[in-house]
Amino acid sequence: NTTYTTTTGTSFSSPCVAGAIALLYSAPCTAFDDNANANPAQAAALMKDFILNGVDTTTQLLGETVSGGRLNVHNSMQLLINSCDNGQCMAPYGLEVTQSPGTLNYTLNWNDLIAAEDYRLEYRPVGTTAWTSIELNNGNTSVLENLLACTEYEARVAAYCTDSLSMWSKYRDWK
């Protein structure tokens, strides 16, 4: 009836997210397109990462949604474009951190559409400026041992491509 209104709920949010995903898949990123054609499941997981990491977090949605926020297509598109690295090499994604029970040891795992063999992992206590760098060969897992107790850390990872280092993954914080 030629009017606008507001609405809520999954019946409204689902088509919004589907539209956002369609828009993201149309981004001018040759590396993502090539990898999506070669491995659609990994591309879909990366797309989910762009959507969830691009949200605007809100106190009202913390604990109510997986992301704790509302969809922000602009942020998600920026994450995709930033990881595209001029069509050369996609940044790793899905960085996860798990603590070994009863220790100050943490295992970091990530995914990578290009399946690089060599990576650079960097971590630091939150609020500091100096990164500790680790060069990794043959795998997308690293164990950090004997970190400081009661200290919040952040990490990021980049893949080595043919002749360069990819963009950095999204930071991952843990304590």
Q: Report yes or no: 166 and 117 within 8 Å, Cβ to Cβ.
A: no
CA-based torsion, 45, 50, 56, 57: positive or negative: positive
Residue 113 confidence (pLDDT):
67
CA 115 and chain centroid, separation? 16
Chain segment 59-74, per-residue pLDDT in tens: 887 887 778 888 999 9
> Which residues pair with residue 93 across a beta bridge?
111
pLDDT tens track for 91-135: 788 889 999 998 999 999 988 766 677 899 999 999 899 999 999
Pairing label, strands 118-125, 141-144: unpaired
DSSP sequence for 8-27: -SHHHHHHHHHHHHHHHHTS
Banded pLDDT at 33 (limits 50, 70, 90): confident
Q: What count of other Cβ atoms lies within 10 Å of the Cβ of residue 5?
A: 5
pTM over 0.75: no
For residue 42, what are the CA distances in angstroms to 19, 34, 112? 19, 12, 8
DSSP state of 86: G
Query: CA end-to-end span of the chain, whole Å?
Result: 53
